[in-house]
Structure 1
């Protein structure tokens, strides 16, 4: 038996519901992190994680990344 096809209208409703739920969850998470104390860190379940503001070349190189030789495909 072939899979059942949905009408565009029903697919649109399903997508709208899921997007609305995702936005609601995102907004709740964002609001919770903004109210975590305002000290430049986010409280996530008891652990304090500093806010990330990006990465400069200098801070990236301080992490001593492996050099790329272009010999392999995906990293193992």
Structure 2
């Protein structure tokens, strides 16, 4: 998994996790609600929002249910 993971900076992962949390809260969802929608565990949601790299595939599942809008802030990095 380490060789596959495309993002090497933990600060970027942490920022992505914060964006996920912000989007979830804007929708009025609890972590448990998003976990159920995405078909993943509550623990995985917690790890994603905390920026843990080993749960990258779970982020893809969650992203389908959150209103991302524009992620242009990452284009400068």
For normalisation by structure 1, the TM-score amounts to 0.30
Bigger fraction of residues in strand: 1
Q: Report which structure shows greater RCO (CA 8 Å, sep ≥6).
A: 2
For normalisation by structure 2, the TM-score amounts to 0.30
**Larger Rg computed on CA atoms:** 1
